[in-house]
């Protein structure tokens, strides 16, 4: 043992001289042993101030936590080395960029038990490059995975779970009453609540767990290596964590609560999409029981049949989008005096695998529920603009969903087309439902103002669900109606 001491002393001296810091992180206990002058690196009084995982993670910037957890999740799942960069708050309240290189040690059963690595200060000019890279897979507000990236991570977790017979849990966490907070205190306060909940989730979860923001008020959480018997304990921990995310408003601290829907994998689902759908149903059931509740997915035979039907429709819509099997039918809107078409309403239809035409009512409600309606609206806008460009005499109307009124991509797509062809805007009528207006009046006003500035007409479609007119049986093709 004494023969190793000079080598260890030399290693410690080399680390100290480089300005880097090595660490040995016990995943089970949360204890971190530091080698090198970590106090100087982070401008702390003593390295004891950062001797535990929670102390270190509390100093990692909110958007950096997501990067660190992503690297930890990938390193723990594949037993590979990881490298990531994030900002850390130093003892003097300043922020510095850190490059973290490390790897997970795992037991014979594949469970991570130790992380060893090196921290190094890097040039802060890298912040801009990292921000640009993050946009492709991360939520801009919280820095967590976005919906698509989390779904990919869940697919990997399911594959690993099946291959190694390792249980896991997927949770859908919904902030209670966030729309009410937004309407009462404004968007800034609502966003502060989202950020605070995101931070508390990071603090309450393990390094190998994965968090993503999948909707305005919802997060998805992947718990690898978690047995079903632990679900209730973890759910309660998350519910308690959400209550710690209090935010100051002009009327004092706002109480924050959340609800949780849980589903166990791999036995309860086959795909990430199915896992998310079932967790969403469990969350919905939890919210029916009141705020600050959790529910483990457990459906009746009838509910399971409905879910499978919804998943089949979702797959059909996704395939139709990829293969461009969405088409338009045109319903003439006839004037009461001259009995001639004033304009044509564009009604969406989908061709199934057998070439049958499906009305919007058979897929639109499910597509909206499953988060596909924005993609549909963007595709419909492209087709409508193509029709307007192809026939200078026609005037068309189209319905859009509530989600698309807050979709900057949809508005940018329209702006790009009419910027050089303003006559297209004058022949376009956009219909929104009364329900859409009532969901967020301020946002709808901004959206309508942007359309009016381009010359687009806007109409209020007060058919309730917004699909009544799309299911009309009196459908003509535009060429037939014009003849």
> The domain that contains 291 carries what CATH number?
3.30.70.270
Cβ distance 264 to 231 under 8 Å?
yes
Residue where a domain stops, chosen among 84, 112, 134:
134
Pairwise pLDDT comparison (442 vs 158), residue with the higher score: 158
Do 45 and 72 belong together in one domain? yes
pLDDT at 193: 93
Cα pseudo-dihedral 136, 139, 145, 148, rounded to 10: -60
Statement: residue 416 has pLDDT above 80: yes
Do 351 and 477 belong together in one domain? yes
- Three-state DSSP state, 23: strand
Cβ distance 63 to 69 under 8 Å?
no
Do 329 and 466 belong together in one domain? yes
Do 384 and 462 belong together in one domain? yes
pLDDT at 112: 83
| 288 is a domain residue | yes
Average pLDDT, integer, range 257-279? 86
Residue 461 to residue 399: CA distance in whole angstroms: 8
Do 128 and 219 belong together in one domain? no
- Closest of 46, 38, 37, 44 to residue 16, by C-alpha: 37
Residue where a domain stops, chosen among 234, 263, 298:
298
Cβ distance 312 to 304 under 8 Å?
no
Residue where a domain stops, chosen among 76, 110, 134:
134
pLDDT band at 467, cuts 50/70/90? very low
pLDDT band at 474, cuts 50/70/90? very low
| 209 is a domain residue | yes
Cβ neighbour number for residue 482 with a 10 Å cutoff: 14
pLDDT at 353: 81
Do 6 and 84 belong together in one domain? yes
> The domain that contains 82 carries what CATH number?
3.30.450.20
> The domain that contains 417 carries what CATH number?
3.20.20.450
Do 286 and 153 belong together in one domain? yes
Statement: residue 339 has pLDDT above 90: no
| 220 is a domain residue | yes
Backbone angles phi, psi at 425, to 5 degrees: -65, -40
Average pLDDT, integer, range 346-368? 84
Do 171 and 249 belong together in one domain? yes
Average pLDDT, integer, range 269-287? 87
Statement: residue 287 has pLDDT above 80: yes
Pairwise pLDDT comparison (390 vs 482), residue with the higher score: 390
Residue 454 to residue 449: CA distance in whole angstroms: 9
pLDDT-above-90 percentage for the chain: 23
Q: Each residue of 151-190: pLDDT tens digit?
A: 889 988 888 888 888 889 999 999 998 988 888 888 888 9
Cβ distance 298 to 308 under 8 Å?
no
Do 208 and 342 belong together in one domain? no
pLDDT at 11: 57
Average pLDDT, integer, range 316-335? 86
Q: How far apart are the first and last CA of the chain?
A: 97
Do 283 and 158 belong together in one domain? yes
Residue 378 to residue 296: CA distance in whole angstroms: 35
| 303 is a domain residue | no
> CB-based burial of residue 182 (10 Å sphere; 0-12 exposed, 13-18 middle, 19+ buried)?
buried
pLDDT band at 463, cuts 50/70/90? very low
| 197 is a domain residue | yes
Cα pseudo-dihedral 52, 111, 241, 47, rounded to 10: 10
Residue 131 to residue 444: CA distance in whole angstroms: 30
Compute the mean pLDDT over every residue in the chain, rounded to the nearest whole number. Answer: 81
Find tokens 């009410």 and name the residue.
180
| 139 is a domain residue | no
Give the structural domain span for 55.
2-134
Residue 433 to residue 458: CA distance in whole angstroms: 11
- Three-state DSSP state, 174: strand
**Torsion over CA: 181, 184, 190, 196 (sign):** negative
Pairwise pLDDT comparison (24 vs 336), residue with the higher score: 24
pLDDT at 317: 85
- Three-state DSSP state, 8: helix
Cβ distance 140 to 255 under 8 Å?
no
| 313 is a domain residue | no
Do 29 and 51 belong together in one domain? yes
Do 232 and 163 belong together in one domain? yes
Average pLDDT, integer, range 17-33? 85
Backbone angles phi, psi at 355, to 5 degrees: 85, 5
Statement: residue 200 has pLDDT above 90: yes
Statement: residue 25 has pLDDT above 90: yes
Q: Are strands 21-26 and 32-35 parallel, antiparallel or unpaired?
A: antiparallel
Pairwise pLDDT comparison (162 vs 77), residue with the higher score: 162
pTM for the model stands at 0.44
| 308 is a domain residue | no
Cβ neighbour number for residue 226 with a 10 Å cutoff: 23
Q: How many domains are contained in the chain?
A: 3
């Amino acid at each position: 043992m004494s023969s190793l001491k000079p080598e260890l002393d030399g290693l410690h001296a080399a680390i100290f001289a480089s300005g880097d810091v090595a660490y040995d992180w016990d995943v089970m206990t949360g204890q971190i042993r530091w080698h090198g002058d970590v106090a100087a690196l982070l401008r702390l009084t003593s390295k004891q101030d950062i001797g535990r995982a929670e102390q270190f993670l509390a100093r990692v910037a909110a958007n950096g936590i997501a990067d660190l957890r992503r690297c930890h999740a990938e390193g723990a799942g594949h037993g590979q080395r990881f490298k990531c960069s994030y900002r850390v708050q130093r003892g003097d309240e300043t922020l510095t960029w850190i490059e973290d290189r490390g790897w997970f040690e795992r037991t014979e059963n594949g469970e991570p038990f130790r992380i060893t690595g090196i921290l190094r200060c890097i040039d802060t000019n890298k912040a801009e490059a990292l921000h640009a890279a993050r946009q492709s897979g991360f939520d801009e507000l919280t820095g967590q995975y976005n919906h698509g990236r989390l779904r990919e991570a869940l697919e990997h977790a399911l594959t690993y779970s099946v291959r190694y017979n390792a249980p896991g849990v997927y949770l859908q966490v919904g902030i209670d009453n966030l729309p009410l907070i937004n309407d009462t205190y404004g968007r800034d306060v609502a966003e502060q609540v989202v950020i605070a909940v995101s931070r508390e989730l990071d603090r309450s979860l393990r390094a190998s767990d994965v968090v993503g923001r999948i909707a305005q008020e919802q997060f998805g959480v992947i718990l690898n290596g978690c047995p079903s018997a632990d679900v209730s304990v973890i759910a309660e921990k998350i519910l308690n964590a959400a209550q710690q995310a209090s935010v100051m408003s002009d009327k004092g601290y706002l109480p924050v609560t959340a609800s949780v829907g849980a589903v166990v994998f791999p036995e309860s689902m086959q795909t990430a999409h199915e896992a998310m759908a079932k967790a969403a149903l469990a969350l919905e059931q939890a919210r029916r029981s009141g705020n600050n509740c959790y529910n483990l997915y457990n459906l009746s035979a009838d509910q399971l049949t409905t879910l499978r039907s919804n998943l089949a429709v979702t797959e059909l819509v996704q395939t139709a989008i990829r293969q461009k099997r969405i088409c338009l039918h045109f319903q003439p809107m006839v004037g009461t005096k001259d009995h001639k078409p004033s304009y044509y309403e564009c009604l969406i239809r989908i061709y199934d695998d057998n070439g049958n035409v499906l009305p919007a009512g058979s897929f639109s409600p499910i597509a909206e529920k499953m988060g596909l309606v924005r993609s549909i609206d963007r595709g419909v806008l492209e087709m409508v603009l193509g029709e307007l460009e192809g026939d200078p005499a026609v005037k068309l109307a189209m319905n859009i969903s509530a989600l698309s009124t807050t979709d900057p991509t949809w508005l940018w797509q329209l702006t790009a087309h009419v910027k050089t062809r303003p006559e297209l805007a004058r022949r376009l009528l956009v219909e929104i439902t009364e329900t859409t207006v009532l969901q967020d009046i301020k946002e709808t006003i901004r959206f309508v103002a942007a359309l009016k500035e381009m010359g687009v007409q806007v109409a209020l479609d007060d058919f309730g669900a917004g699909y009544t007119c799309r299911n009309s049986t009196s459908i003509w093709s535009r060429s037939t109606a014009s003849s």
